A = this chain, B = another copy of it.
């Protein structure tokens, strides 16, 4: 049954991402917005757009009843949850389907299974998927958790069972930190995901974060779209992702991708999903978790395989058969995604806020800036600090790295400090260039990733620019776009 109108229950760049594919497919799109987002493009550029009012996230983007009410009112026949927010909320998926609306995502059963970090591992153990040592038990008493943590041996990782994205996570290195770690994870879990259940895992040294993109239809087809290397992280937040993973032989690549497909087949999965693995430097890998939704970093896969994952999500939700075979999916070239955060990496990564006076556009070919802001809009403290994703494709990895470094200079967010320069330092680091990636890359290279002093040349150019800009008297977001006819330049340098 063809979908005619989709409500996107999300905000920012991912709402726009869904909008683009829907537009290509001739499907109408309804968006929603909290009132403080009313000037952002997701609230402006859809076919219809409805306010969710103001208040906390629970009043707006997490307001299940209201989202369903707006869907009904607008006549949309499907909901795309994006990532984050309600994308992995089983209750919402049930409410949606109960209201006769198509949920563009997995079955509630898959969400429950994979959303529970403990239950998922138990299930996968049965179909022989490799797991890291850990405690995934139901007994959540402090006593048991402390005992199990000690049994696994420090360092251990304590995670909210329903969590993801660094929220509700604590690494504990010694006894004295243990109780606070457990309580912190429980409290954040309760707050962010309405569950205080935690699990404990062995913290593997210098692991790589390798994940596999999956897509399954309801006709028994389970495909992978190869892997992504997402090891460059800071405090469990991914910073740079790429595909193909460097320094991985083709045999290992196919093996890990096939393991992921076994999981999808084993749980009879539906739609887009990602299996995240911890991989040791010698190529052993363990199942970490499965995200039952589109990932932030899905564009690198799209660029390298040439397939539109959102389109397949919609086709699958319509009950259609995936229009391709595993052998039709190939990797070509290299794609890198950088997450541009509103933060100051040289001041303890302190989040930054402000009005974006101007967003620079990419100038090179095969470069995408997925961005949820416009010139003149504000970055506040209420939402995720990710401003945009810079996604770059190159014919090979060195070219992709060099294009990414150059493109980072294009995508200035004038008025709000970002991690732009910091991303360039990572991309230009010899170990990154050599593909020596692991999840401790950022802390391990802390000193080499510090800021470089300005050279005289650079300061002189700044003085030159500042001197001419001094004539700009306008304040705020006003911008006079005018090519000034500098008559004195007529015979310039000739």
In the complex, the answer to whether A364 meets B406 with C-beta atoms within 8 Å is: no
Q: Are A35 and B490 in contact (CB under 8 A)?
A: yes
CB pair B332–A51 under 8 Å, yes or no, is no
Which residues of chain B have C-beta atoms less than 8 A from A481's C-beta?
Answer: 375-376, 477-479, 481
A433 to chain B minimum Cβ distance, whole angstroms, is 14
Residue of B nearest to A69 (CB): B494
Flag if A482 contacts B493 (CB, 8 Å): no
Complex contact A51–B491 (CB within 8 A): yes
Stretch of A19-27, A86-94, A191-199, A454-462 that contacts chain B: A19-27
Q: Could you tell me the distance in whole angstroms from the C-beta of A466 to the nearest C-beta in chain B? A: 20
Q: List B contacts of A70 (CB < 8 A).
A: 494
Residues of B within 8 A of A374 (CB): 483
Q: CB < 8 Å: which of B307, B363, B478 contacts A482?
A: B478
* Residues in chain B near residue A53, CB distance under 8 A: 491, 494
Closest B residue to A361 by CB, please name it: B361
The B-contacting residues of A in range 428-463, CB under 8 angstroms, are none
Contacting residues, chain B, for A311 (C-beta < 8 A): 395
Is A237 located at the chain interface by the 8 A CB criterion? no
- What is the interface of chain A mostly: helix, strand, loop, or mixed? loop
Total interface residues in chain A, CB < 8 Å = 51
Q: Mark A370-390, 1 if CB is under 8 A from B, else 0.
A: 000011110000000000000
- 0/1 string, A387-431, CB within 8 A of B gives 1: 000000011000100110010000000000000000000000000
Closest to A70 in B: B494
Whether B494 and A364, one on each chain, are in contact in the complex, defined by CB atoms closer than 8 angstroms, is no
> What is the CB-to-nearest-CB distance from A85 to chain B, in angstroms, rounded to a whole number?
18
CA distance A493 to B43 in the complex (A): 13
A333 at the interface (CB under 8 A from B): yes
Assembly CA distance A368 to B394 (angstroms): 16
The answer on a CB contact under 8 Å between A402 and B26 is yes
Q: Contacts A308-B395, A395-B306 known; A39 to B364 CB distance under 8 Å? A: no
Q: Quick one: closest B residue to A491, CB to CB?
A: B51
Query: Of B21, B51, B489, which contacts A493 at CB under 8 A?
Result: B51
Does A253 sit at the interface, judged by CB under 8 A?
no
Which B residues touch A51, using CB under 8 A? 490-494
Instruction: Take A376-B481, A478-B482, A479-B481 as given contacts and tell me if A406 and B24 are in contact as well, using a CB distance cutoff of 8 Å.
Output: yes
Q: Which residues of B contact A377 (CB under 8 A)?
A: 483
Does A365 reach chain B (CB closer than 8 Å)?
A: yes
Q: Does A145 contact B (CB under 8 A)?
A: no
A24 touches B482 (CB 8 A): no
Q: Please measure, in the bound complex, the distance between the C-alpha atom of A361 and the C-alpha atom of B368, giving whole angstroms.
A: 13
Identify which of residues 244-289 in chain A touch chain B, using a CB-to-CB cut-off of 8 Å.
none
A458 CB → nearest B CB, Å: 16
Measured CB to CB, the nearest residue on chain B to A54 is B490
Q: Give the CA-CA distance A16 to B458 in the complex, in Å.
A: 25
Q: How far is the CB of A7 from chain B (nearest CB, A)?
A: 14
Given contacts A24-B406, A403-B24, contact A307 B395 (CB under 8 A): yes
Alpha-carbon distance between A45 and B266 when the two chains are bound, in angstroms:
55
Instruction: Collect the chain B residues with CB atoms within 8 Å of residue A64's CB.
Output: none
CA distance A38 to B491 in the complex (A): 11
Closest chain B residue, CB of each to CB of A474: B480
Candidates B26, B368, B376, B482; contact of A376 at CB < 8 Å: B482
Residue from B23, B395, B403 in contact with A364 in the complex, judged by beta carbons closer than 8 Å:
B23
A361 to B403, CA, bound (A): 21
Within the complex, what minimum Cβ distance (angstroms) separates A191 from chain B? 27
Residues of B contacting A490 in the complex (Cβ-Cβ under 8 angstroms): 35, 38, 51
Please measure, in the bound complex, the distance between the C-alpha atom of A485 and the C-alpha atom of B35, giving whole angstroms. 11
A sample of 26 inter-chain contacts (CB < 8 A) reads: A20-B363, A24-B364, A24-B394, A24-B402, A24-B403, A24-B406, A35-B490, A38-B489, A38-B492, A45-B363, A50-B493, A51-B490, A51-B491, A51-B493, A52-B494, A53-B491, A70-B494, A302-B365, A306-B332, A307-B395, A375-B481, A376-B481, A376-B482, A376-B483, A377-B483, A478-B480
Report the 4 A-B pairs with minimum CB-CB distance, sorted nearest first.
A51-B494, A39-B483, A479-B481, A376-B483
Residues of A in contact with B (beta carbons under 8 Å apart): 20-21, 23-24, 26, 35, 38-39, 45, 50-53, 70, 302, 306-308, 311, 332-333, 361, 363-365, 368, 374-377, 394-395, 399, 402-403, 406, 476-483, 485, 489-494
**Contacts beyond the supplied A21-B365, A23-B406, A26-B402: 11 A-B pairs with Cβ under 8 Å:** A24-B364, A52-B494, A70-B494, A302-B365, A306-B395, A307-B395, A376-B481, A376-B483, A477-B481, A477-B482, A479-B481
